């Protein structure tokens, strides 16, 4: 009989097969596992979590002792020539090589997309970090020039304002570096998956085990997350015309928006507007 590719209970054929019996080589749901353990003949059977155990893919049908040669698309299982005329009669079938070609094609496209997206994100992050640092320097220069105009009367306020924006800029620059690091890791992970793909392609066998490896690789590729780019901060400086009685406000304001990333769902974006008091 063909080996089920999905983890559905093979007893009730309805609930998820979250447990795997090593003795029976079958998936069981929680209720069927309890009933199975209560039976005298199977009371000592050993179970493992299905998520932690991948049963060996058999090369021959246990019912007919024939080699698996097809995949039943309707049931998503491997079948032999005898299965085709019995339980799977009339079902749509596909040869191993066709399934493998489809999986390899999808993996090739998906991994290429992930790698390209991750690399593009890293490139844009590096460019925007450089632009951000340049904008910060521009704001600092503007603040410094404004302070020099006011000479000694506002020297202390100038230093205080520069220190404030530098502190915020350092914080955001560190966050940009951390985000850049995450995207570089995404590139490394994508390359690792690509190496696995190449290793699998070098294998000459065409059997159920290869399908299993390709499906596992395909699942890992789908789970690889390449986060969208954040909204980059764009610091600006707005000078303000005041008199000597408003020295504490002479340096105007600067705006530096906090980085907003797709993964920080609980952190609200805000713009920090600082004004000397």
Is residue 9, in this structure, part of any structural domain at all? yes
Question: Which residue range(s) make up the domain with 47?
Answer: 1-55
HEC assignment per residue over 200-217: HHCCCCCCHHHHHHHHHH
C-alpha 155/C-alpha 245 separation (Å) is 15
Is residue 77, in this structure, part of any structural domain at all? yes
The tens-digit pLDDT sequence of the chain (277 residues) is 444 445 789 899 899 989 998 888 789 999 999 999 999 888 899 999 888 776 555 567 778 777 777 888 888 888 887 887 788 778 888 888 888 888 899 999 999 999 999 999 999 999 989 999 999 898 888 888 877 776 677 677 778 888 898 999 999 899 989 989 999 999 999 999 999 899 888 887 788 888 888 899 899 899 988 888 888 888 888 887 666 666 656 677 878 888 777 654 433 333 444 444 3
Say if residue 50 is in the same domain as residue 76.
Answer: no
The model scores a pTM over 0.75 = no
Say if residue 200 is in the same domain as residue 212.
Answer: yes
From the list 51, 69, 47, the residue with the least C-alpha distance to 2 is 69
C-alpha 220/C-alpha 203 separation (Å) is 19
Say if residue 1 is in the same domain as residue 66.
Answer: no
Is residue 273, in this structure, part of any structural domain at all? no
Specify the pLDDT at position 55. Answer: 58
Specify the pLDDT at position 254. Answer: 78
C-alpha 36/C-alpha 56 separation (Å) is 22
Specify the pLDDT at position 271. Answer: 41
> For the purposes of burial, counting CB atoms within 10 Å of the CB of 83, is it exposed (0-12), middle (13-18) or buried (19 or more)?
buried
Residue 169 has φ and ψ, to the nearest 5°, of: -65, -40
Helix or strand or coil: residue 199?
helix
List helix spans (H) across the chain. 30-38, 81-85, 96-149, 155-201, 208-223
Token pair for 37: 């353990």
Counted domains in the chain: 3
CATH label of the domain that carries residue 38: 4.10.640.40
Cβ atoms of residues 203 and 234 within 8 Å: no
pLDDT digits (tens, 9 = 90+) for 138-181: 888 888 887 777 667 767 777 888 889 899 999 989 998 998 99
C-alpha 100/C-alpha 215 separation (Å) is 10
Say if residue 77 is in the same domain as residue 32.
Answer: no
List helix spans (H) across 202-265. 208-223
Token pair for 153: 């009367």
Token pair for 172: 């955001």
Say if residue 194 is in the same domain as residue 124.
Answer: yes
Helix (H) / strand (E) element for 229: namely: none
Concatenated DSSP letters of 82-94: HHHHTTTTT--EE
> For the purposes of burial, counting CB atoms within 10 Å of the CB of 16, is it exposed (0-12), middle (13-18) or buried (19 or more)?
middle
Say if residue 87 is in the same domain as residue 173.
Answer: no
Is residue 248, in this structure, part of any structural domain at all? no
């Amino acid at each position: 009989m063909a080996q089920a590719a999905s983890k559905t209970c093979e007893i009730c054929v309805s609930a998820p097969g979250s447990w795997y019996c090593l003795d029976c080589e079958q998936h069981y749901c929680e209720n069927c596992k309890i009933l199975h353990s209560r039976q005298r003949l199977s009371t000592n059977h050993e179970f493992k979590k299905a998520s932690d155990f991948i049963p060996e893919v058999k090369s021959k049908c246990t019912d007919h002792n024939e080699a698996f040669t097809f995949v039943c698309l309707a049931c998503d299982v491997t079948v032999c020539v005898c299965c085709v005329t019995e339980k799977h009669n009339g079902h749509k079938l596909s040869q191993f090589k066709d399934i493998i070609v489809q999986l390899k094609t999808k993996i090739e496209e998906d991994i290429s997309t992930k790698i390209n997206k991750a690399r593009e994100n890293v490139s844009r992050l590096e460019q925007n970090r450089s632009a951000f640092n340049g904008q910060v320097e521009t704001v600092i220069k503007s603040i410094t020039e404004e302070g020099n105009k006011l000479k000694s009367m506002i020297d202390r306020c100038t230093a205080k304002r520069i220190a404030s924006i530098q502190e915020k800029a350092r914080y955001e620059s560190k966050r940009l570096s951390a985000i850049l690091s995450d995207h570089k890791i995404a590139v490394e992970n994508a390359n690792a998956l690509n190496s696995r793909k190449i290793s699998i392609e070098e294998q000459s066998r065409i059997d159920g085990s290869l399908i299993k490896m390709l499906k596992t690789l395909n699942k890992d590729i789908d789970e690889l997350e390449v986060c969208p780019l954040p909204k980059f901060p764009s610091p600006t400086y707005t000078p303000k015309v005041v008199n000597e009685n408003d020295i504490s406000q002479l340096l105007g304001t600067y705006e530096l928006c906090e980085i907003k990333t797709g993964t920080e769902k609980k952190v609200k974006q805000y713009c920090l507007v600082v004004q000397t008091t």
